[in-house]
Structure 1
């Protein structure tokens, strides 16, 4: 196997540019356009697809909810409890796809939640829910809405056949119960409450939390279709270690099309669940008492039957779940039960605290920075600076489309710190081009042709670029995970633009530079190209910025000597062999000798860099020896 020289490898810049344009610009833009037709943004659908990125609370305004917490056990609310509640609420909101939300404590007593835009009722409910997840055995079940007279009588007959509550209701007071599934718990009062309950009535599903875990519970399903009498709590939701949503597994390791939630319990919960599941399993299929109700904030989320005793602490909840409802339940369970309940103190729409004025100022600041970078690039690199401008435009388009797609697909909201991250990225992106161009210029000073200078310069530059971008990306990742709120927005855009910067310089800037190396204007080093060898000889005698925080110091040569070399190069004259057809004579020896070394030998063969430097040293030694001999003769 042979290792090819990178400079001799066959490159396909045109194909690289076409693939890059399709993958990073055309396909994302087509997806965004399609999204506006399929799920377009509107007043009723603020999180839909649109050509403008979604704005965060500080730029667009939104909804502010003030929650007053109360302890479920009557204990005093502490700062630690409020802090824990804030963390759980933040996790819920982030998991629901809402970003840039502001969650703060107000006086250590209230929790203020600011959500960008106009959140739907599900998001607001997600914030205010206490998520007290409990598992209770089902004692009896019935429809949650009034039935016609004949159907009601038939339903009564069915429940009588199942011996659910009629016999137990004869007792006015419930005896001491040791079995949570004992129907003797259903007193006349509980039975009357159950009979009078209409789950379709307004407000029937609201405010049912705070139930007594040691007493029976009369409640509804979350969809209002069924009502239940449940036994005391047998497993608390705090024993849940993990909950994930997905398609339920079928027999023989197959996957069904039914969505559900998989639960993993801790050791205490697993032990409790094993005892309960065995008892409920013994009731047999078809008996309401075979069901184990999962109660969230007093309402039954699901009441699955026990098909087999569960002794390993791993349970699966299946039923009438959709993908969204299964994911919502799994998120609530994963973040655990809040130790407190919430009362919504107030809910109001708020205007942008910074608003369009601050956004305009941020855009103006970004444009000023962009103009300064463009002016510097054109001044420093002449026509070559236009490649910097083109690369910045490409990076800007990709960044804009990406943020717009993230606003649609992930609910991302652009905040003012995020805008600051985009502005900072302009300088970081331009720095990559400076590193690359300076490496090309260094190779030209060493006597390489532009084609080889581009290839060798890229091999040198990309190591520096990768190292610098890796540092930027690591910093952004650390800042994102350690910070909260607006600082996360800055870190996110900084990391995003860092990745896009690397993509642009590798798959756009370098291929375009390879194409420009074949253009006569740049290949022959026109004075306005930015790659003129005569001017490069002069700049070698001055300090210059080489990118990535690196400053190239001048060689030890006078400006007069550099100017002399430059004039010879511009004239196409080699100090040793005369004019050289098609190739300037600058060999990068400025500072070692005041005379340039020959570019070719007596046969016309082009000398290598090492051979030319050796010739310089011989010429310098000969000059010194001659001067010494003359001095001796004078004596």
Structure 2
């Protein structure tokens, strides 16, 4: 065993060297972070004049992956928001009205005249017939509009609508199963869209998770304020395209098939638009900030999918010469005249944009529209001073633990303890390198995991060295004692570390937030500890023994 093959020696040295190289950027954290941010800004076209100098502060050919600092270390923004799921129920019933109207029109000879009745505060679609005796026919026809909850082939969840009649009045409501399924879809979609919007900003490792029936917790390290975070995720970003009937002022009234929308830039200007949107933003496949080729002003360039491009081409071809309003969150961003059919499936949103606002709008459009508005229940900003204190305290804990372990190991095992200490240093480097490469987030519990790893890392060496002592006391020679010590300690080392690794995996799978941070550092630390204790120390002992050839051995 003391003969170490050349290939194995090269592999261990290569892994250790890679660990040191990839862990090194964390020693220059702020410099590397600024360089990474500057390069990202340059690629996105939003860089300032100082970006080039910041990007060159850390050479691009060197590794630049960093361990992400969590909210408790780096500071950032904390938001707890509530999703207005009730609005989604109302939208579903509103969207049902055209189908119900078409169904009843086909039976006009049997049901007679009908109209929709607005009922404030009630989640139902109310229809009033002129002939009460036709209610049963209308109810049977409207029940055909129901779909199985969840869209299953067998409809195991039951219908999503319930239709009742009382005299001339017909009520269409969502069933409890439909409401539950719709709420789950709304929350899942909101979580995904919030995550995509934050990811688009390049922010590292946010915490985004559902809380309760209709709430979302968002924690983002590195954001300057909760208001800045809310500006990114708080907008619904619902984009629609409508034909413009006329322009009016605040006193103007919308007709029965019109909606009145304010101009985003002129507070006294309003547009009367066709109520039905000709195309919606869910047909967008891409949106990017850019600059107008004629004016040089910031704009947002967008592109539709195949169906959206076809519809966009048909609409513009049929309405050449008419103004076409682009509506974002119930405001008319721009209303240009259609000069010719736009058949390429792409277009441009212009307005009083800055480079930053054009970039933010493109992020919102790419991520998609939130299915419902969100209301902030709790917001706070965690200052960097608290994070700095936490980092300082964590550094002290690591240094004290590290120093104590080094002293005890050297005092207990002499030269072999020195080898264990060198392996321990390399172990920490490997741990930081892996955390950097996988983009893990380091929190206070994560620092606790590192301290625990330092203590556990030498445990394997203690088992090995004590086993070597036993073999020496049994009268075996140095070479045989070392060989037997490593062989017989191997099983105990693997058993102990595998059980701890299983615990770390379970913590990661079941836990959330800080618990996951602890489990990641613990799990990775176990892997690096076993490698450093078994492979690195064996290599150093083998090299020393091949050169010294001692006749006696003291451990």
Q: TM-score, normalised by structure 1?
A: 0.47
Hey, what's the Cα distance between the residues in 2 that align with 1:104 and 1:27?
A: 35
SS at match of 1:115: strand
The alpha-carbon deviation at position 424 of structure 1 amounts to: 1.2
Query: Which residue number corresponds to residue 396 of structure 1?
Result: 428
2:223 — aligned with what? Answer: 118
Compute the RMSD of aligned alpha carbons.
6.1
Task: Identify if the C-alpha distance between structure 1 residues 354 and 481 changes in structure 2 by more than 3 Å, giving closer, same or farther.
Answer: farther
Contact 1:260/1:326 (CA < 8 Å) preserved in 2? Answer: no
Q: Is 2:505 aligned against 1:477?
A: yes
Q: How does 1:21-170 map to 2 (within 5 A)?
A: 21-26=16-21, 28-29=23-24, 36=31, 39-40=34-35, 55-65=69-79, 67=81, 69-70=83-84, 71-72=86-87, 73=90, 91-92=195-196, 95=199, 97-99=203-205, 101=207, 113-119=218-224, 123-130=229-236, 136=240, 139=243
Q: Give CA deviations for 1:444-469 in whole Å, capped at 9, x if unaligned.
A: 56766544554565455555545544
Matches within 5 A, 1:454-533: 454=482, 457-458=485-486, 461-462=489-490, 464-505=492-533, 507-520=535-548, 523-526=550-553, 529-530=554-555
Q: Compute the displacement of 1:504 (Å).
A: 2.7
SS at match of 1:511: helix
- 3-state SS of the aligned residue for 2:77? strand
Structure exhibiting the larger radius of gyration computed from Cα positions: 1
* Alpha-carbon distance change, 402 to 293 in structure 1, aligned in 2, over 3 angstroms: farther
Q: Name the counterpart of 1:611.
A: none
- Aligned to 1:420, what secondary structure does the other structure show? helix
- For 2:484 and 2:543, how far apart are their aligned partners in 1? 15
Q: Is the 8 A contact 2:242 2:325 kept in 1?
A: yes
Measured at CA, do residues 100 and 500 of structure 1 come closer, stay the same or move farther in structure 2, by a change above 3 Å? farther
Say whether the 8 Å CA contact 2:302–2:348 is kept in structure 1: yes
Kept in 2: contact 1:139–1:288 (CA 8 A): no
List runs of 5+ in structure 1 lacking aligned partners: 1-5, 141-163, 167-171, 177-184, 205-211, 218-230, 247-258, 264-272, 309-315, 531-635
The CA distance in 2 between the partners of 1:327 and 1:451, in whole Å, is 68
Is the Cα–Cα contact under 8 Å of residues 427 and 528 in structure 2 kept in the other structure? Answer: yes
Instruction: Identify, as 1 or 2, the structure richer in helix.
Output: 2
Do the aligned partners of residues 175 and 454 (structure 1) sit closer, same or farther apart at CA in structure 2, a change above 3 Å counting?
same
The equivalent position to 2:15 in structure 1, one of 17, 20, 24, is 20
**1:63 aligns to what SS in structure 2?**
strand
- Which residue is 2:277 aligned to? 232
Superposed CA deviations along residues 535-584 of structure 1, whole A, max 9, x for unmatched, are xxxxxxxxxxxxxxxxxxxxxxxxxxxxxxxxxxxxxxxxxxxxxxxxxx
Q: Is the 8 A contact 1:67 1:128 kept in 2?
A: no
Q: Deviations over 1:14-50 (max 9, x none)?
A: 5345423432213552697699368348999999989
1:360-401 per-position Cα deviation (integer Å, ceiling 9, x unaligned) = 554444445445534543454333111222111222234346
Who is 2:455 aligned against?
427
Residue equivalent to 1:573: none
Task: Measure the CA separation in 2 of the matches of 1:500 and 1:332.
Answer: 38
Check whether the contact 2:507–2:519 (CA below 8 A) recurs between aligned residues.
yes
Matched pairs, number: 412
| Distance in 1 (alpha carbons) for counterparts of 2:241 and 2:536 | 64
Question: Is 1:10 aligned to residue 37 of structure 2?
Answer: no
Q: Equivalents in 1 of 2:506, 2:198: separation in Å?
A: 18
* Counterparts in 2 of 1:216 and 1:483: CA distance versus 1, 3 Å: farther
Q: Is the 8 A contact 1:64 1:114 kept in 2?
A: yes
Alpha-carbon offset, residue 503 of structure 1: 3.9
What residue in structure 1 maps to residue 367 of structure 2? 332
Aligned partners of 1:346, 1:439: CA distance in 2, in Å? 57
Query: Tell me, what secondary structure is at the counterpart of 1:523?
Result: coil
3-state SS of 2:373 partner = strand
- Give secondary structure in 2 for the equivalent of 1:232: coil
Within a 5 Å distance, the mapping from 1:154-233 to structure 2 comes to 197=263, 216=274, 231-232=276-277
Listed one character per residue, the Cα deviations across residues 333-361 of structure 1 (whole Å, up to 9, x for unaligned) are 5xxx6553124578654447965555555
Aligned mates of 1:502, 1:430 — CA distance in 2: 9
Deviations 1:117-171 (A, max 9, x none): 4348874433323465x6x55647xxxxxxxxxxxxxxxxxxxxxxx989xxxxx
Q: Unpaired runs of 5+ in structure 2? A: 39-49, 59-63, 91-120, 124-178, 248-252, 289-300, 334-340, 351-358
Q: Determine the structure 1 residue equivalent to 2:338.
A: none
SS of the residue aligned with 2:220?
strand
TM-score, length-normalised on structure 2?
A: 0.53
Superposed displacement of residue 425, structure 1? 1.0
User: Secondary structure at 2:546's aligned position in 1?
Assistant: coil
Residue of structure 2 in register with 1:560 after alignment: none
Deviation string for 1:157-206 (max 9, x for gaps)?
Answer: xxxxxxx989xxxxx97676xxxxxxxx6x8x67xx6xxx365x79x9xx
